[in-house]
Amino acid sequence: MGLAQDVLHEAVLVGHEEQGRCTENDVAAMSGFVGWGKPLRSLRDQLAPLGWTRRRDHGFESVVSPDGSWQIAYAAGNAATGRHDRMPATRLDKGPRTGLAVVENGQIRFPESASAHFAPPQNPSIETWFLLAFYDEVVEEIRSELSRPVRFAPLSKGNKRGEKSRRGYLDSFDPRLILDPVSLVESADVEDLHNEPIDIDVRRRSG
Protein backbone atom coordinates (compact mmCIF):
# COMPACT_ATOMS: atom_id res chain seq x y z
CA MET A 1 0.00 0.00 0.00
CA GLY A 2 1.51 3.32 -1.07
CA LEU A 3 1.04 6.65 0.66
CA ALA A 4 2.69 9.80 -0.71
CA GLN A 5 4.83 11.92 1.59
CA ASP A 6 3.14 15.12 0.47
CA VAL A 7 -0.14 13.98 2.03
CA LEU A 8 1.55 13.60 5.42
CA HIS A 9 3.60 16.76 5.00
CA GLU A 10 0.48 18.75 4.19
CA ALA A 11 -1.20 17.48 7.36
CA VAL A 12 1.66 18.49 9.67
CA LEU A 13 1.97 21.87 7.95
CA VAL A 14 -1.73 22.55 8.43
CA GLY A 15 -1.42 21.79 12.14
CA HIS A 16 1.60 24.06 12.50
CA GLU A 17 -0.06 26.92 10.62
CA GLU A 18 -3.29 26.66 12.61
CA GLN A 19 -1.38 26.74 15.88
CA GLY A 20 0.47 29.80 14.64
CA ARG A 21 -2.84 31.63 14.23
CA CYS A 22 -3.68 31.19 17.91
CA THR A 23 -3.11 34.18 20.18
CA GLU A 24 -2.96 34.77 23.91
CA ASN A 25 -6.64 35.69 23.76
CA ASP A 26 -7.62 32.16 22.74
CA VAL A 27 -8.69 29.80 25.48
CA ALA A 28 -5.71 28.02 27.07
CA ALA A 29 -6.28 24.67 25.36
CA MET A 30 -6.95 26.05 21.87
CA SER A 31 -3.41 25.76 20.46
CA GLY A 32 -3.06 22.13 21.49
CA PHE A 33 -6.54 21.26 20.29
CA VAL A 34 -6.15 22.68 16.77
CA GLY A 35 -2.59 21.32 16.59
CA TRP A 36 -4.06 17.84 17.06
CA GLY A 37 -7.38 18.15 15.28
CA LYS A 38 -6.45 20.02 12.11
CA PRO A 39 -3.80 17.52 10.93
CA LEU A 40 -6.38 14.75 11.28
CA ARG A 41 -8.91 16.73 9.29
CA SER A 42 -6.30 17.32 6.60
CA LEU A 43 -5.54 13.60 6.39
CA ARG A 44 -9.23 12.76 6.17
CA ASP A 45 -9.91 15.41 3.52
CA GLN A 46 -7.00 14.27 1.37
CA LEU A 47 -7.54 10.54 1.74
CA ALA A 48 -11.34 10.36 1.54
CA PRO A 49 -11.31 10.39 -2.30
CA LEU A 50 -9.03 7.34 -2.15
CA GLY A 51 -11.50 5.36 -0.07
CA TRP A 52 -10.22 6.13 3.42
CA THR A 53 -12.79 6.68 6.17
CA ARG A 54 -12.84 8.53 9.48
CA ARG A 55 -13.09 6.59 12.72
CA ARG A 56 -14.12 7.77 16.18
CA ASP A 57 -13.71 5.21 18.93
CA HIS A 58 -14.46 6.55 22.43
CA GLY A 59 -12.51 9.73 21.75
CA PHE A 60 -9.75 8.04 19.76
CA GLU A 61 -9.78 9.72 16.34
CA SER A 62 -8.18 8.24 13.24
CA VAL A 63 -8.48 7.72 9.50
CA VAL A 64 -8.84 4.12 8.30
CA SER A 65 -7.39 2.53 5.17
CA PRO A 66 -9.78 1.38 2.42
CA ASP A 67 -9.40 -2.29 3.37
CA GLY A 68 -9.91 -1.55 7.07
CA SER A 69 -6.66 -3.24 8.11
CA TRP A 70 -4.85 -0.20 9.53
CA GLN A 71 -5.47 3.34 10.70
CA ILE A 72 -3.52 6.55 11.20
CA ALA A 73 -3.81 8.72 14.31
CA TYR A 74 -1.92 11.94 15.00
CA ALA A 75 0.17 13.12 17.94
CA ALA A 76 2.77 15.76 18.68
CA GLY A 77 6.15 14.13 19.22
CA ASN A 78 9.18 15.17 21.25
CA ALA A 79 12.53 16.43 19.91
CA ALA A 80 13.59 12.91 18.87
CA THR A 81 10.80 12.77 16.29
CA GLY A 82 12.10 12.33 12.76
CA ARG A 83 15.64 11.49 13.87
CA HIS A 84 17.31 8.19 13.01
CA ASP A 85 19.58 8.22 16.05
CA ARG A 86 16.92 8.56 18.75
CA MET A 87 13.61 6.95 19.69
CA PRO A 88 10.75 9.45 19.90
CA ALA A 89 7.89 9.65 22.35
CA THR A 90 4.60 11.51 22.36
CA ARG A 91 5.03 14.99 23.81
CA LEU A 92 1.88 14.73 25.90
CA ASP A 93 0.46 11.80 27.85
CA LYS A 94 -2.38 9.85 26.25
CA GLY A 95 -5.48 8.11 27.54
CA PRO A 96 -6.37 4.43 27.91
CA ARG A 97 -7.76 4.10 24.38
CA THR A 98 -4.31 4.91 23.02
CA GLY A 99 -2.87 2.24 25.30
CA LEU A 100 -5.38 -0.23 23.93
CA ALA A 101 -4.24 0.61 20.40
CA VAL A 102 -0.79 -0.67 21.33
CA VAL A 103 -2.32 -3.90 22.60
CA GLU A 104 -4.20 -4.28 19.34
CA ASN A 105 -0.93 -3.89 17.47
CA GLY A 106 0.05 -7.23 19.00
CA GLN A 107 3.35 -6.14 20.58
CA ILE A 108 2.29 -5.10 24.07
CA ARG A 109 5.26 -4.14 26.25
CA PHE A 110 3.79 -3.39 29.64
CA PRO A 111 2.18 -5.83 32.12
CA GLU A 112 -1.46 -6.58 31.45
CA SER A 113 -1.87 -6.40 35.23
CA ALA A 114 -1.31 -2.64 34.98
CA SER A 115 -4.97 -2.30 34.11
CA ALA A 116 -7.68 -4.67 33.03
CA HIS A 117 -8.67 -2.04 30.50
CA PHE A 118 -5.64 -3.02 28.43
CA ALA A 119 -6.47 -6.71 28.19
CA PRO A 120 -5.81 -7.81 24.59
CA PRO A 121 -8.94 -8.22 22.45
CA GLN A 122 -9.85 -11.70 21.31
CA ASN A 123 -9.64 -10.89 17.59
CA PRO A 124 -7.49 -7.85 16.90
CA SER A 125 -8.23 -6.73 13.36
CA ILE A 126 -6.70 -3.29 12.88
CA GLU A 127 -3.21 -1.90 13.29
CA THR A 128 -2.60 1.65 14.47
CA TRP A 129 0.13 3.92 13.17
CA PHE A 130 0.84 7.44 14.41
CA LEU A 131 1.84 10.44 12.39
CA LEU A 132 4.22 12.21 14.79
CA ALA A 133 5.43 15.75 14.23
CA PHE A 134 7.82 18.10 16.00
CA TYR A 135 8.60 21.74 15.24
CA ASP A 136 12.29 22.49 15.79
CA GLU A 137 12.50 26.23 16.47
CA VAL A 138 16.30 26.26 16.31
CA VAL A 139 16.60 25.13 12.69
CA GLU A 140 13.05 26.14 11.73
CA GLU A 141 11.86 22.84 10.38
CA ILE A 142 9.15 20.31 11.06
CA ARG A 143 10.36 16.74 11.53
CA SER A 144 7.81 13.98 11.20
CA GLU A 145 7.43 10.24 10.86
CA LEU A 146 4.74 7.62 10.34
CA SER A 147 5.43 4.98 12.96
CA ARG A 148 3.81 2.01 14.64
CA PRO A 149 3.67 2.20 18.47
CA VAL A 150 4.73 -0.91 20.37
CA ARG A 151 5.00 0.40 23.92
CA PHE A 152 2.74 2.44 26.17
CA ALA A 153 4.44 3.65 29.36
CA PRO A 154 1.87 4.42 32.07
CA LEU A 155 2.44 7.50 34.19
CA SER A 156 4.35 6.62 37.33
CA LYS A 157 1.93 8.57 39.49
CA GLY A 158 -1.17 6.59 40.42
CA ASN A 159 -4.45 7.69 41.93
CA LYS A 160 -5.33 8.14 45.60
CA ARG A 161 -6.21 4.45 45.91
CA GLY A 162 -2.74 3.45 44.75
CA GLU A 163 -3.95 2.22 41.37
CA LYS A 164 -1.63 2.70 38.39
CA SER A 165 -2.66 5.50 36.05
CA ARG A 166 -4.33 4.52 32.81
CA ARG A 167 -2.67 7.48 31.07
CA GLY A 168 0.81 7.32 29.65
CA TYR A 169 3.21 8.00 26.80
CA LEU A 170 3.93 6.15 23.59
CA ASP A 171 7.70 5.82 23.80
CA SER A 172 8.72 3.04 21.44
CA PHE A 173 7.86 2.52 17.77
CA ASP A 174 8.63 -0.24 15.28
CA PRO A 175 8.86 0.18 12.38
CA ARG A 176 9.50 3.88 11.92
CA LEU A 177 9.08 5.54 8.53
CA ILE A 178 10.96 8.81 8.89
CA LEU A 179 9.85 11.52 6.49
CA ASP A 180 11.95 14.23 4.93
CA PRO A 181 12.05 17.32 7.17
CA VAL A 182 10.02 20.32 6.03
CA SER A 183 11.99 23.56 6.15
CA LEU A 184 10.07 26.64 7.25
CA VAL A 185 12.85 29.02 6.29
CA GLU A 186 11.31 31.56 3.91
CA SER A 187 8.00 29.68 4.28
CA ALA A 188 9.20 26.65 2.30
CA ASP A 189 6.89 26.10 -0.65
CA VAL A 190 4.67 23.05 -0.81
CA GLU A 191 6.22 22.56 -4.26
CA ASP A 192 9.44 21.57 -2.50
CA LEU A 193 7.78 18.65 -0.74
CA HIS A 194 8.64 15.14 -1.87
CA ASN A 195 6.17 12.81 -3.51
CA GLU A 196 8.02 9.57 -2.92
CA PRO A 197 5.58 6.78 -2.04
CA ILE A 198 5.71 5.12 1.36
CA ASP A 199 5.21 1.39 1.26
CA ILE A 200 3.60 -0.10 4.35
CA ASP A 201 3.23 -3.84 4.51
CA VAL A 202 0.16 -4.43 6.65
CA ARG A 203 -1.08 -7.98 6.60
CA ARG A 204 -4.32 -8.87 8.31
CA ARG A 205 -3.65 -11.45 10.98
CA SER A 206 -5.75 -14.54 11.35
CA GLY A 207 -7.68 -14.85 14.58
Question: Exposure string (b/e) for 57-70, b if CB count within 10 Å is 16 or more?
Answer: eeebbbbbbeeebb
Residue 207 falls within a domain, yes or no?
A: no
Residue 205 falls within a domain, yes or no?
A: no
Domain that holds residue 117: 2-199
pLDDT tens-digit profile of 31-83? 998 999 999 999 999 999 999 999 998 889 999 999 999 999 999 999 999 99
The mean of the pLDDT values for the chain is 84
Instruction: Please give the tally of structural domains in the chain.
Output: 1
User: Using an 8 Å Cβ cutoff, are 182 and 193 in contact?
Assistant: yes
- What pLDDT, on the 0 to 100 scale, is given for residue 58? 85
What are the backbone dihedrals phi and psi of residue 42, each rounded to the nearest 5 degrees, phi first? Answer: -60, -45
Residue 67 falls within a domain, yes or no?
A: yes
Alpha helices in 54-127 (DSSP H): 96-104
Residue 10 falls within a domain, yes or no?
A: yes
Residue 165 falls within a domain, yes or no?
A: yes
Q: What percent of the chain has pLDDT over 90?
A: 61
Record the pTM: 0.80
Residue 206 falls within a domain, yes or no?
A: no
User: Using an 8 Å Cβ cutoff, are 19 and 31 in contact?
Assistant: yes
Residue 114 falls within a domain, yes or no?
A: yes
Residue 68 falls within a domain, yes or no?
A: yes
- What pLDDT, on the 0 to 100 scale, is given for residue 203? 57
